[in-house]
Structure 1
C-alpha cells in the first residue's frame, strides 16, 4: 500500500515535470552511469597508475571532474549495487549480504526517474534480484548477449532508446571480475612493469595476475570510449552527464570486501559538457555512494524526498571546491565468509569496528583461489611474510582499528592503542555508534557462516543456508541518514 501511494505521487509529480519541460531534451539532462566490477580506485591512469592503459577515462577526467574521496558503502558486489540504486546503506536495504535480492518494498531512484518521464535502461551485469527490474524500461543482462566483459549491448541500448525522452542508462560491466577471459586486450600489460602493492607478494604469478587484471580494465576503458562516441554521434553528448565508478575494490587479497581504501574507495569521474565549467577540476570533497541516487534525481529536477539516506552532491559537481561530507560509513557483511565490520572515515582518520575479531579476514572466495593468494601462502609457509602481507592471515584480529589516513594512505599501521590519538579515536567511536543507532544497525549472533574454504577458495561441504542478516524491519523503513 505504501509503495502504491509513492508510485501515485511520483506519477503526478512526473506528469507535472513533463508538462513544465515539454519533453524537451534541452531542458532535462540525460544520465549515463557506467559501473565497473572490481576495479580499485587507483587502477586508472588519471588516479596515478603509470602502467594501466586507460586513455579514454584519463581524457574524460581532464574534461570533467575527478573525485578523489568517493567511498562505497560496502566492498561487496551486489550489496554495493543495491545500495547505489536504493540510496540506502546495505543493512537498510534488506540485502546486506552477497547474492540477496533487493526487496520489492525498497524504493529505487530508477523507479522515480521512470515515473518522472525518463526512459530507463540497464545493460550488463544485473546482480540485484527481480524486484528492481520493474524500474527499467529495457534490460540486457543475459550472459550470451552481454559478452565476456558485459559491455556488448551498451551501444545497442543507447541506440534503441526512444528519441523523444530524456534517458538514464545503467551500464554495468563484468570487467574486471575474475576469472580473466582472453580478449582483444590480452597481453597488453607487461608483468615486469607493474608496481606490486606492499601487501601482495612481488612474485611472477602475482605480477601476471595483476597484468591480466589490467588487461580487463583496458577493455572496460575501450567501451567507455565507445559509449561517449555514440552519444556524440547522436548529438546528445553535451547534455548528457556521464558517471564512471566501480562497485568495490580490486579482486585481490586485502582489497575486495575490506574496509580499507583498497576495498572501499572507488574512482568517480563525472563528465558533463553543458554543466561543468571547471573542466579538469579535482574534488577532494568526501562523497558516499548513497549520495548518487539523490544526485540523479536532483539532476532530473525530481523530488528527492522519500527513503533515500544520501544527499545530492550536484553542487559539488558544479563547484568542485565546495565541502560536502564530514563522515562516510561502510560495512562488511557476509561475502562467502562470516563477517561483521563497520567503518567510519573522515578526511584525516579511519575507525574500523570488528565484531567478529576471532575470524581471519582473507577476502572473498575468488581472491582466495587466485595466483596472488597462492604466492602469499607460499611466503607464509616459509615464514617470509612482511607485516602488511600477514594481515590477511591474522587470527584473531583487533577489535578496533584506527588509522591516520593522511600519513598512512594504505592503512598499514593500526594506531588504536596509541594514547596520542585517544581523543580522535573516542570521537569516531561515538560517531559510528550514533550512525548504527540512528540507522537501526544490528549485530545478530547467528550470522551466515562460511560457505567457502579460506585456504583454497573452494566450496565447503556444508549446507548453504543464511543466518540472520544485520538490520530488520525498522532498518528497512527508517529515513534516518546518520551523521553527515
Structure 2
C-alpha cells in the first residue's frame, strides 16, 4: 500500500527545506581594514573573495564600541541602555529573551560555541555549545540551523601579544604576509613612534590570521554542500582595539566591516552604502527565517523580500569601561557624526588599566606629558571635553575637526541633536541612572565595587594639562 503525504504536509516540508541556514562569523576589535574595503595594508584574500560573492556594507555601526554591551544587544535585539547592560563588565540579574529562542521555536538548530560575554548569564541549554566548525557532522541535515563562530586572534590583547602568543597567532602567515611597521598607515592623531607602528602592524597581521580562519569556515560550508542555501554574515563586534578606537563613539570605535553572502538573494559584488546598525542583525535573521519579530526588539530588517525603510541614523553610546566612569552618546548619519559628552569635566584619556597596557597608549601618554605632541595628537589629552562634537566624515574621516561651533553647520547639527534627544526618550536610556541605583533596583549585580574599587585607587594623574 502506497503512502501519500497530504498536500498541506508537502507544503510544510517545502517550507522547511526552503528556510535558509544562517551563519555568523564574528571577529573582534577590527575596523573595515580589509582588502575589499581598499585598505592598502590589508592582506585578506579569503574575505575579499567572500565579498565578491555577496555584499559589502560600507556603513555598519555597533551600538557600543566595546564587546560585552555590543553582544548583549546582538543576542537580544535590544539596546543595552534600555536593558541596563550598558556598562562594560556589568551583569543583568534577569536576562532578556534571546533571538535564538525564536529560531528554536521555528525549528532551527542553534549552535553558539565559545564566547558569550553578554553582560548576563544565558540560561542552561539555550544553544548547542559544541564547535561545529571542528566537527561539521554536528550540523543537522533534516532542519535548518543557525551557527555562530567567534575568533579572538584580532582582539586588543593580541595586538600586544607575548612572543609565544605572537608566534602562535601568525603561524600560518607566509613571509610576504608580515607587515613592515615603517610602512603601515597611522591616523593623524597618533605619534609616529616605533611602538605605535609595531602595534598597528601586528593588528593587520592578526586580521590576516583571521582571514585564514574564515577560509576554514567557508570551506566547511562548501564541503558539506551547504553554501547555496546558507546566509553568511562576517562582521567585527566594533572598531579596532587601539587607543581612541575601541571604547569611543567615533567611526574608529563604532564602524565595523560587514560582509553578507546569500546566493540567489544578495547580488554578488554589490556594495551597500545604507546605514546598518548591529541591532538590526537579530530582526533581520528572524525575518529571513520567516519568524515573527518580537515587539521588544528595537532593530529593523535590512535583507530579504520585505526590508524596513532605510535608516537615517545609527545610535551608539559608552558608559563605564571597567573601572573608568563616563557617559557618551552619539548619532551617526550617512555623512555626519554628533557626539554628546555628558561629563565634559572628565578628560578623554582617563586612565583605564586594561587599555593603558597597550604600548601605543603608553607612548602616546608619555609624549603628552613630555610636551612632544602636535595639536592634533595632543587633543586627546585635554583636561576636559567639549559638551558637543560634530564631524563631517566626508571632509574629515579621522574626526579631528570639531564643527560643533560652526555657524555653517548649526542647522544640521541641531537635527542630529534632536534625533539623539528623541532616541534617549523613546528607548528609555538608563545611562542617566547611577549604577548604584540600578543595583538597588535589582536590575544589575554589584560588579563595580566587588571587582573594580581597588583599581581606581591605582590610577595615576591622567592629563598633562593643569
TM-score normalised to structure 1 length: 0.82
Pair 1:335 & 2:312 matched: no
Structure 1 unaligned spans of 5+: 1-16, 141-152, 464-484
Structure 2 unaligned spans of 5+: 1-7, 437-447, 460-466
Q: Cα distance, 1:154 vs. partner?
A: 5.2
Any idea what SS the aligned residue of 1:49 has?
Answer: coil
Give the aligned partner of residue 409 of structure 1. Answer: 397
Q: Is the 8 A contact 2:348 2:384 kept in 1?
A: no
Pair 1:75 & 2:65 matched: yes
- How does 1:55-70 map onto structure 2 within 5 Å? 55-70=45-60
- How does 1:280-429 map onto structure 2 within 5 Å? 280-315=269-304, 324-336=310-322, 337-362=324-349, 365-429=353-417
Between 375-384 and 425-434, report the one with greater CA deviation.
375-384
Give, in whole Å, the separation in 2 of the partners of 1:131 and 1:375.
37
Per-residue deviation, residues 103-137 of structure 1 (Å, max 9, x unmatched): 54511111111121100011232212564354743
Q: Is the 8 A contact 2:17 2:144 kept in 1?
A: no
Between 18-27 and 236-245, report the one with greater CA deviation.
18-27
Q: Is the 8 A contact 1:23 1:164 kept in 2?
A: no
Pair 1:170 & 2:148 matched: yes
Q: Cα distance, 1:159 vs. partner?
A: 3.1
Q: Cα distance, 1:441 vs. partner?
A: 1.2
Any idea what SS the aligned residue of 1:226 has?
Answer: helix
Give the aligned partner of residue 19 of structure 2. Answer: 28
- How does 1:63-462 map onto structure 2 within 5 Å? 63-102=53-92, 104-128=94-118, 131-134=121-124, 136-140=126-130, 153=131, 155-156=133-134, 158-177=136-155, 178-179=157-158, 180=161, 181-182=165-166, 183=168, 184-185=171-172, 188-276=178-266, 278-315=267-304, 324-336=310-322, 337-362=324-349, 365-444=353-432, 446-447=434-435, 459-461=455-457
Q: Cα distance, 1:65 vs. partner?
A: 0.1
Q: Cα distance, 1:274 vs. partner?
A: 3.2
Give the aligned partner of residue 444 of structure 2. Answer: none
Q: Cα distance, 1:169 vs. partner?
A: 0.9
Per-residue deviation, residues 42-82 of structure 1 (Å, max 9, x unmatched): x2111121122211111111110000011100001110011
Structure with bigger RCO (C-alpha 8 Å, 6+ apart): 2
Question: How many corresponding residue pairs?
Answer: 426
Q: Is the 8 A contact 2:288 2:304 kept in 1?
A: no
- Structure ID, larger Rg: 2
Note closer, same or farther for the CA distance 1:111–1:135 as it changes in structure 2 (3 Å cut): farther
Note closer, same or farther for the CA distance 1:389–1:452 as it changes in structure 2 (3 Å cut): farther
Give, in whole Å, the separation in 2 of the partners of 1:134 and 1:272.
31
TM-score normalised to structure 2 length: 0.85
Per-residue deviation, residues 285-331 of structure 1 (Å, max 9, x unmatched): 00111110110001110101331101111149x99xx9710111001
